[in-house]
Structure 1
């Protein structure tokens, strides 16, 4: 055999081998699911630059300061509560020059001594720190009320574009919640020189600000229970299931907007923001139900009769199902693009093992929210353990807590006015606490 013949045969074998190898690779790739094919695009350099990602501008655009870990700055003097400010933690906190007190070894070998210094201006005015919307709204409200000596909304229409708050005109907020939400509505109204109206306790309440044609409507939501049992602890409360309250109470607020009846639908034909939660009432319902059914079985000891316990699994399943139905009902009534926020639950002032099920209601509410298109209003978590801000065992007082609530509400209302969907996926994808 000649040398040239040997080379030809070797070449044929090599070509055949390469062809079979490529065919095998192709068949293997075709057998994979589409998401696993061609991890590196054909013809590209596997060691080249990675595919493009969203730039920092996109991330900044959807940055939610109230969902980021942070610090609630509360002035020492209660009279200055209108300076209360949420300061989100960002890289700025990591890279700012260290304080002398953090030096090691300590300066002059002395003991470390902390002082109650003020937050540096660079943190209060950082681009990531949310605006003091309440200050802006209060100031503009005073200007408009001085210019227009009237309580009729229509008289303020010529001023709707005055200043930097034109986006606030004709906005509508609905709160599906408890007395904590009702008090926050009342305090917000008082800050702007108006009064909340409430035809009957535990039904509905309305705060209308004529200078902005802004309305907050509170729908009292006594939890997710499905009937009016004999053991219900409030004898005058006849309607419990939200389906019945919606039909007989809440729907009465869904009227065309006039000077005397502002309604609940904003410029887009739906509420501009809906906040919801059922924590404290569901907690009490589980306590009362467990105690009542323990008595009905002859008073035999039952773990469910205790007020220092977790939710049982059936309670958790029940709550999940009922909250899903509530959110689905809201979407059915107002459409799939309804801006929804789960208002995180506030604990009791003296919180202990009795609030164990409250934390679990909060967790399952967060989960249901993420699956049903609702984002999260972290006000309750921002107040964690700050019980010196309460006015009683259950309710945060007017002051730093209510000022924070107002700033947060206006922050989300501003976002809603520009289009809720723009950052909605980022809001849903956030992991929770």
Structure 2
């Protein structure tokens, strides 16, 4: 009989995972404690912007005309336990307030809610990003709380999703990592779950629990380090009169380095990279290995300095102060193809500039509603041109394709002064200068 699967937690990760498992042919039951989120998903509506996800929901959610009916949702852990053979835990692990450490309370609540209803053998699979050492502890907790006892196995299967590409990353991952204990059926069951990508040649790396937990932390730390490295080079370039984009181009031809994520600019944000590297540092300290990760403090510091540098550049363009100045900010999401504003560099810069006296107007193609809720005192516009009306400087802070295609002549007709700061180093500087703009980018000669 085909495996039946549950997904506990239907946020960004869980909703994507559930829809993609249905696409792979499984019957899937998603569980959440938020009734509004469940109602939205059952109606085929995604509570976040993620390209392709809404279409998958409509294709598979029970009750939609022509749907496969392979995906439905519930708030009942008992129903989940009775339904599924494999349970994926996909809840959030945010940063603790006032600390660097990860908040494991949602994972623990999910385990505590599910375990008492597990009366038959089952596999529980963690996908959340957790501190190393968590899986072993949770495995013991599951077996202690579940009526099926030792019949309950735990595996750890970290996610590697990129916002804006999550559907493709789930259906066609570059690797699958599973942490298991010897002697169980976890690997066999997960090979069945991931039969389609494995059949297409995707490699599976089978490890112990700690290694699987460390893979996500290590991957995000490496990525954050690479981004902060090129941004550190941008700081040097600004002092030396060099061009960081040409420096990055030259570095990219070295096959040991490569060109991906060597784009200097405003730095990283979002709900993963910043909190994951901080949680990694915190856990290393608990393990007595804090010296191994001290470099991540500087990685984090470089990243945050980019935001302050953008504020400084904007102040310079406004004549040394923000009072009575109008600033247009293009971008609110932390990255393009997403409406996620968690730790958004763009909104952080916008808020800093507003606090220093400027009238700030923000436009983003997808993140406006989320931005309004989190930053209600900022002004918002319905388009880039509306945001730029009367602006003394325009800040390009999220690299949406829409902004790359802006007409500098048309935009120049509505601003007070043609001054543009490119916080992402992706706009065509010569084109903007030819239209009469003062164009500045981070890490490049003025």
TM-score by length of 1: 0.23
Q: RCO (CA 8 Å, sep 6+): is it higher in 1 or 2?
A: 1
Question: What TM-score, normalized to structure 2?
Answer: 0.23
- When Rg is computed on C-alpha atoms for both structures, the one with the higher figure is 1
